[in-house]
Structure 1
Amino acid sequence: MSALSALNTARTALWAAQRGLDVTGQNVANVNTEGYSRQRVDLQAMGGTAVPAVHSVSSAVDGGVDAERVRRVRDALLEARAHLETADTARLTAESAALSQVEEAFREPGDKGLQSMLTAVWAGFSDLANSPLTLASRSQVLERLDTLASGLNTTRAALDQQWDQTRDGLAALVADVDTSTRSIAELNATIRLSTLAGLPVNELADRRDALVLQLAQQIGATAVPRADGVVDVTVGGTSLVAGGTAVGLRLAGTAEPDDAATDPPRLVTVPGGTVLRPGGAAAGQLTALTATVPAHRTRLDDLARSLAGTLNAAHAQGWDLEGQQGGPLFDDGSGATPVDLTKVTAATITLRSLRPEQVAAAATDPATLGGKTSADGRNADALFRLSLDTAGLDATYRKLVVALGVESSVAARNLEVQSVISTQVDAARESVSGVNLDEEMTNMLSFQHAYNAAARMVSAIDEALDTLINRTGVVGR
């Protein structure tokens, strides 16, 4: 190897060490940057006979080192696993949050819940049975019945509000997804052109992959890499991003919770109108819109309808202080007679406008007493005994609340298990692609010593050339 060739080798060594220090500095600078993947210089020895032949022999050892390629350190399998686990975690989080909100709407257990209101109603009928002629006890019964109807109205309104807020949140998520898919398509186009031009694209790829991970969390997206450096993004088998082209989304379906069964909310592509099968948070929100909230609204409506039908029928068996047979206690707010129970829901149930004297507490027809008012209170007692029915209103409501509690508990436990799995996957992914300052410090010292050694080699070659040029053949020195 000639001195000039050795000088070129030392030059490449200096460049490689400088390149390594630059990359190490980039890693250290982005140690806290979310989505950043640590980078490494791929060092490759240069030299060797390009075309071996019998008479093409050489004992030279030169060429130096090539440090042109800087790659991102990532594990494709861990990245794909992270997309799946992130999507599952987001879906379970949305489902668990929806059930928690439903529990808050029912306010159980507590003194603000429907159970306490039912208990107060039964206690009021018990007091009325003991003092059927007292107007105060009659007024108290009416007040407690009105409070119960208002409690049903409030619970139903809370469920309706939850449905509306969930749909609004899903609409905002769809708009965010559209923005992300367009950004990914633009980054794909830029990465393709930069790759063809030989320009670095690591930071661009980090930004794109961070957006893909965000889409995985939002709608369960997965990425399929292509040979030209771009990725295609699919959701449930439907392509949202293909190279530099993005497909839009929109939220279709009803905006009214009452129509959720016939025209359920759904995500469709624009253009095309293909119904998407999303994962992630969108799947959890769609479950809340099409199953969770509507199911509990229906159960609450059934309870209100059963309450109105049962109490109306029992009240009709008694007689009031004016000698009239008991009329309906609840209706749908229309005041119509007879009451159409099919129109009674938790949102419409209303206590009819009754005076305390019209509460039918007696079970004896005044006609049998010569027109005198009965003071037996047996019908009020019969109304109280409805609370003892093992298949009555209390039992039905307790069954509803217990089922809700079990469903919420299972969802919370599933989320807890999934969160552990997702955390483990993220830790494994971070151990591969994350920046470790201790490792970077070691690399920095390694490249620093390599640079010093290469510089010393340049000095040694310079001295050798100086001796060769300035001292060879000089007499008297």
Structure 2
Amino acid sequence: MSTFSGLNTASTALWAAQRGLDVTGQNIANVNTAGYSRQRVDQRAMGGAAVPAIHSVAGTAEGGVDVEAVRRVRDAFLEARAQLETGTTARLTAESQALSRVEEAFREPTDSGLQSLLSDVWSGFSDLANNPLKLAPRSQVLERLDTLAAGIRTTRASLDQQWDQTRDGLSALAADVNASATSIAELNQAIRQASLSGLPTNELSDRRDVLVMELSLTVGATGVARDDGVVDVVIGGTSLVSGNTAIGVRLAGASGPDDVAGDPPRLVTQPGGTSLRVGGTAASHVATLTTIVPGYRAQLDTLARDLVSSLNAAHGAGFDAKGVRGGPLFDDGSGTLPVVLGAVTAANISLRALTPEQVAASATDPATIAGAVSADGKNADAMFKLSLDPAGLDATYRKLVVALGVETSVATRNLEVQSAVSTQVEAARESVSGVNLDEEMTNMLSYQHAYSAAARLVSAIDEALDTLISRTGLVGR
């Protein structure tokens, strides 16, 4: 190595060490920046002439070092796995929360739950059977029946409110997806232009990857990288972002829970109207709107109709305090007769306007006892025994609550397992792309010593040149 070429080698070493220190400083500065991927300097040795010539032979180790690239440290497999697990975790989290809200609507086991209200009704009929001539037990039965109907309406209203809120949330989620998709398309364009101009794109790529991960969480999207650094975003096989072009997403389908069967809510592309097979939080919202809440609403409506059918029939079999055959206890709130069972839902079940004397506690027809009013209380007892029917109202409701509890428990357990998997994947991902201060400190010391050594090399060459020039001058004189 000649002394003058040695200066060039030392200068490249100084520049490479300085670049390494700059990148290390950038990593340390962004240790707490969400989505930041640590960067590494790729260095390449600069050798002699790459192409031999007849009168040019490079037999020395001249050249130095060149910074080939500053690249992000990422594992493509772990990134794809993180997107998948993030979407699954988000879906299970939202599903567990939805089922928990359904449980809250039924308020079990509490004093305001339907099971407790049913028990109060049966207890009221038992008291009436023992005291059929007193007004207090009759009034108590009517009050408890009215409270039961109000409890059913409250539960139904809670489910309807959950449905409306979930639909509003899904609509807002679609707007967020559109904003993120547009930003990703713009970043793709910026990254492509920067790459063609030879400018750094690491920070832009980090911002884009954060947005892709957000889409994985909300709609289960996955990113597909191209060779030119651009990332396409796909949702269930449908391309949401392709290069610098993004399509929109909108919420379509029924605006009310009663119309779900004919026109289920769903996310579709805009334009085009193609239904998307979404994942993440959106998948749970769609399931809540189409399956979870409508399913429990239907079961609650069935319970309300069974209650009306059973108690109206049992009450109609008895006679009130004046010897008149009992009429319907419940209707759909319209007050019209006869009661149309198909019109009754959990939202409109209502106790008819009855006086305590109109409660049909007796089972004996006054005509059979020469017009006298019976006080046997057997019809009230018969209505109490409805609670003992193994296929009756209580059994049906307990089956509903147990099924809800099991479904919620399964969802919670699945979420716990999935959370553990996601934590492991995220830890593995962070071990590759996350900033480790101890490692960065080691790198900083390494580059610092490399810089000091290169600077010392410059000083040594400078001293050699000074000696050579000075001593040569003395010999010449």
Normalised by the shorter chain, which TM-score bucket? over 0.9
Gap change, CA 1:446 and 1:384, over 3 Å in 2: same
CA distance in 2, matches of 1:389, 1:344: 23
Asked if 1:225 corresponds to 2:225, the answer is: yes
Q: How far apart are residue 334 of structure 1 and its match? A: 0.7
Consecutive unaligned residues of structure 1, counting only runs of 5 or more, are none
Match of 2:407 in 1: 407
Q: How far apart are residue 372 of structure 1 and its match? A: 1.9
CA distance in 2, matches of 1:410, 1:261: 26
CA distance in 2, matches of 1:319, 1:353: 17
8 Å Cα contact 2:99/2:408 also seen in 1: yes
8 Å Cα contact 2:191/2:230 also seen in 1: yes
Per-residue deviation, residues 331-386 of structure 1 (Å, max 9, x unmatched): 00011111000011110100000000000000001122222221100000000000
- Aligned AA (1:420): A
Match of 1:441 in 2: 441
Match of 1:377 in 2: 377
Local SS of the residue matching 1:473 = helix
CA distance in 2, matches of 1:469, 1:308: 114
Q: How far apart are residue 53 of structure 1 and its match? A: 5.5
Local SS of the residue matching 1:372 = coil
Q: How far apart are residue 418 of structure 1 and its match? A: 0.7
Match of 2:326 in 1: 326
Q: How does 1:52-451 map to 2 (within 5 A)?
A: 52=52, 56-451=56-451
Q: How far apart are residue 476 of structure 1 and its match? A: 10
Q: How far apart are residue 67 of structure 1 and its match? A: 1.2
Consecutive unaligned residues of structure 2, counting only runs of 5 or more, are none
8 Å Cα contact 2:18/2:447 also seen in 1: yes
Asked if 1:466 corresponds to 2:466, the answer is: yes
Match of 1:33 in 2: 33
Total equivalences in the alignment: 477
Relative to structure 2, which stretch is displaced further, 361-370 or 384-393?
Answer: 361-370
CA distance in 2, matches of 1:58, 1:70: 29
- Aligned AA (1:472): T
CA distance in 1, matches of 2:53, 2:400: 87
8 Å Cα contact 2:44/2:68 also seen in 1: no
Local SS of the residue matching 1:239 = strand
CA distance in 1, matches of 2:272, 2:264: 19
CA distance in 2, matches of 1:416, 1:12: 53
- Aligned AA (2:162): Q
CA distance in 2, matches of 1:261, 1:276: 18
Percent identity, please: 74
Q: How far apart are residue 268 of structure 1 and its match? A: 0.6
CA distance in 2, matches of 1:258, 1:140: 35
CA distance in 2, matches of 1:367, 1:229: 93
CA distance in 1, matches of 2:428, 2:192: 29
- Aligned AA (1:424): Q
Local SS of the residue matching 1:42 = strand
Q: How far apart are residue 201 of structure 1 and its match? A: 0.3
* TM-score after normalising by structure 1: 0.99
8 Å Cα contact 2:321/2:373 also seen in 1: yes
CA distance in 2, matches of 1:48, 1:278: 56
CA distance in 2, matches of 1:374, 1:415: 61
CA distance in 1, matches of 2:14, 2:148: 83
CA distance in 2, matches of 1:302, 1:394: 13
Q: How far apart are residue 227 of structure 1 and its match? A: 1.4
Q: How far apart are residue 49 of structure 1 and its match? A: 2.8
- Aligned AA (1:46): M
- Aligned AA (1:265): P
Local SS of the residue matching 1:203 = helix
CA distance in 1, matches of 2:88, 2:194: 34
Q: How far apart are residue 452 of structure 1 and its match? A: 0.4
Local SS of the residue matching 1:474 = helix
CA distance in 2, matches of 1:62, 1:215: 51
